[in-house]
Amino acid sequence: MPSKGGPAVRSVFTFRATRQVLARRWAIPLFLLIAGVFAFAAMVMGGMLVFARTGYTHLTIIVLTSASGGAAWWNYPGVIVGFPNGGLFLPFFGTLTMLIVSIGVGVGMSVAVILWTRIVTLRRLAASGNVAVGSLAGLTPAFLSLATIGACCTITTSTAAGLGVVAQTSGTTAYTLLANNWFLGVFEIVVLAIALLAHEALLETYGPLLGLTTAPNGRAVHLPDATPTPAPLSGATIARAAVRVVLLLGGVFWGLAGIGLAATYNYPFSSPSFWFAVLVQHELIAAVAVFIAILPGAASQGLVRASRSIAGAGLRAVLFVAGISVVAWLPPAWLGTGAEGLVNELFGTAGLPASWGAVAPPYGMGLALVLRFGCQFGLMGSFALLLALLPARTLAWASTDRVRVSQRTEVAPAAGRPAGE
């Protein structure tokens, strides 16, 4: 049964429900197949695995430890494996990224396949009268969300490598990305991790009703014994869902923009303004936005518990400072390392002098600049300010309508086996 406040934070970040879904005899072979196919395709399309005349007449392995001058340090140590009519090139970070993304895609797609098979089974049970048709129809939107988000994360990570898209959404340039291509790998890993966390939050809520997972109390709620009553679809429901989607996307891209500062500003690690820009302006706001988008119930409960504590007051104070600095103006002494506000870039667009705190945006007038001002600086800065000043009202706009379940019995799963097995 869905918990009153939504899925628990610990359960989501340890992927408890996902591990239960994959604890099936045919799930691991399915995962290995999907991950292997994706990894092979990624190596071929990314140029890591080449089938052509390379000049090697026998198996040759070359280990590269570094490049001259430390260029492209993220590629080392690397391995080149040459063989007749082909070669395998394994740069360090590129190979690590491929493995992580392949594992994530394998997990997401495997769970999606299992969920789709569960949907088909439930529809057959409904047709035979073993499951109430109303119950199945009431949960159909949740089924579709669960079954497709795993597939969507695959599409997202495979298309995220477009240089133009990544550059514009992260506030950097295509030239910078070409010179520091490690950022593309970070982009893919972050997007995939967020997709899998959202997938896990849905599984924690609806998995027990599907008979695929157990509830946090160790019991399973089977659909024939439960009558789900989903909240009615209203304008407020749609608005709250839209707010969560916007917060999720805005938080992901704003956090990645902070990571991109390391590439754009050549690692000015000794500058306090650089750390303020990365940790406070970008990563703090992004982390809070993503957390609220994925787990609004847990965020609301945490706010209630921390409202009268020193830590809660401190977090709101830091969010206030971060929000003001993003939507307003920073003095010229803080500029030059990525610490800048919306007004600073508006001054730069208007051609005002640097003595006024003007900072030229990374690209000229156009849709990309409008999105940067509105969906990054404006959205994230305003969100931080509202959360600091009006936390309860702000979180109310991101909360979800709960699915109420009236049930006659709770059936404990067989010992040692996941629910639904």
The answer, yes or no, to whether residue 260 has pLDDT greater than 60, is yes
**pLDDT tens figures, 360-419:** 887 777 777 888 898 899 999 999 999 999 888 888 887 755 544 444 433 334 333 444
Bridge partners, residue 228, by sequence: 405
**pLDDT tens figures, 148-182:** 444 444 444 444 444 555 566 566 665 566 566 77
Q: How confident is the model at residue 219 (pLDDT cuts 50, 70, 90)?
A: low
User: Phi and psi of 419, rounded to 5°?
Assistant: -60, 145
In eight-state DSSP terms, residue 62 is E
- Give first-to-last CA distance, the chain, whole Å: 18
pLDDT of residue 69: 63
**pLDDT tens figures, 60-114:** 888 888 776 667 788 888 888 888 888 888 888 888 988 988 898 888 888 888 8
Mean pLDDT over residues 1-11, rounded? 61
Distance CA 310, CA 312 (A): 5
In eight-state DSSP terms, residue 402 is -
SS3 category, 294 = helix
Instruction: Compute the half-sphere exposure of residue 245: CA atoms within 13 Å on the CB side of its CA.
Output: 6
**pLDDT tens figures, 305-317:** 776 788 888 999 9
List, in order, residues 6 or more apart from 139 with CB less than 8 Å away.
206, 209, 210, 223, 228, 230, 403
Contact 54, 93 (CB under 8 A): no
Lowest mean pLDDT: which of 10-19, 103-112, 230-239, 269-278?
A: 230-239
